[in-house]
Structures are given as C-alpha cells and as structure tokens.
Amino acid sequence: MPLMQQAKAQEPGARVAVVIPAFNEEETVAGVIRAAQTLTPDVVVASDGSSDRTAQVAREAGARVVDLRENVGKGPALKAALEVTDADYVVMLDADLLGLTREHLERLLRPVLAGELEMAIGVFEGGSFASDWGNKLTPHLSGQRACRRDWLLSVPRLGEERWPEPPITDHLRQTGARWDYVELGQVRQVLKETKRGFWKGARARTKMYADLLTYKRRKKRGG
C-alpha cells in the first residue's frame, strides 16, 4: 500500500506537509520542492531574508512561501513555515539538497506514521565524501527530520535559536521520545564553500558550528 494511503488508513484524515527553511538557495530549492511534491502537495518554503531569487523560484515551483524580510535564522524560519500549515505530520528539509527522491522521504516518514518513532532523523550515505562525513561526525545536527507537527511546535526555544537542531535534539532527550537515524542513500548537500566561495563559506561554517556548539550555554543563561 502506498505510504500516504497507509497513513490515512491508520489515522483517517492525517495530512503531511514538507517544510523547507531557505536562505539564498535559488539554485537548489526548486529541486527540493519537486521532490517534496511527489510526497504531498503541501510544501512550504520559508525564505529567511534571502537576497537572491529564492522566494520567487519557490513560488514558481509551486510551494507556498513565507517571505521573511530579515535574515532571522533557520529556527524562526522553520517555526514560521510550521505556522502556515495545519498538517498533522511534517517532514523538515534543508533547501540545498541534491539527489532527493520520494523514496527518501517515505523512508524518513514511514516509522513516524507507523507510530514506531516520535522522530526520524535523516543522515546521508553515499552522496559525497564531505556530506557523508559531516553527517557521521554530527548526525544529531541533521536538518532532515520527520515528526508530528504539534510535537515540533512544542520544542522550547525553537523560534529563538538561529539553528533549531540542538533544541530539537535536546527536547527529544529531555522528553524520552523515541527517535532513530534513517539513511538517505545518495543524497548530498551543496557545501557552503561551494555556494559562497571558499573563504566566505568557511567563515559561515565556522560561525554555524560555533552557534550550534554553544546552545547549552545560551539555554542555561536563558533559564
């Protein structure tokens, strides 16, 4: 039985959306949207103050677009996307993925729809050396996830943190939720160094990891 029919059989009326936070991803966002549309027509892109054509490209590809005026961070952008859909389940994707297919999305979503997991976290395998090893070193920071929408909205600080992955993973552990990794074979990300040039990309990557790794300190200060 196809996955979406299976979902409706298990939970009549269940709806699935794909949410995609995006910042200056005009080159890749349409491909991610097209892959998402093979799973569900409810695809929402939150353009996080993009200065390029990300919002326009996303609209032309058929996604609903939340066009944020300022670059406020992936966490606030994700929350903005979640707030414009009323789907029961969501698949969260980065906007710079290559090689994504419906099969990958179904693999990510299936254990959540079946009630086996509260969250499935996608990790790359066989897409590219850089993407694979980045995920292997920090799989808990993956931006590819599936869960119930209401669970994701319940994550403390979701809309406050520039990068939402640490508070999401922290909430999984704090609540004792069931979660596991799911391999996404042949999927890869475009590196920041490729998108922005080596030095600008390297600086952006360093800042990203600094933000990610200091989450607990900010959480402690915030109470």
| Residue 80 falls inside a structural domain | yes
| Residue 217 falls inside a structural domain | no
| Residue 186 falls inside a structural domain | yes
| Residue 175 falls inside a structural domain | yes
| Residue 216 falls inside a structural domain | no
Task: Characterize the bridge pairing of strands 89-92 and 179-185.
Answer: unpaired
| Residue 221 falls inside a structural domain | no
What pLDDT, on the 0 to 100 scale, is given for residue 132? Answer: 47
Locate 128 and state its tokens.
Answer: 């590219």
| Residue 32 falls inside a structural domain | yes
| Residue 177 falls inside a structural domain | yes
Locate 223 and state its tokens.
Answer: 């109470």
Domain count, the chain: 1
Listed in sequence order, the residues at least 6 apart from 151 whose beta carbon sits closer than 8 Å to its beta carbon are 118, 119, 177
128-154 per-position pLDDT tens digit: 555 545 666 677 889 999 999 999 999
163-207 per-position pLDDT tens digit: 999 999 999 999 999 999 999 999 998 865 556 555 664 565 576
CATH of the domain at 79: 3.90.550.10
60-77 per-position pLDDT tens digit: 999 999 999 999 999 999
For the cut 90, the answer to whether the pLDDT of residue 49 exceeds it is yes
Structural domain harbouring 10: 3-190
What pLDDT, on the 0 to 100 scale, is given for residue 113? Answer: 96
What is the torsion angle, in degrees rounded to the nearest 10, for the CA atoms of residue 70, residue 189, residue 88 and residue 156?
-60
What is the C-alpha separation between 103 and 50, in angstroms, rounded? 29
92-137 per-position pLDDT tens digit: 999 999 999 999 999 999 999 999 999 999 998 865 555 545 666 6
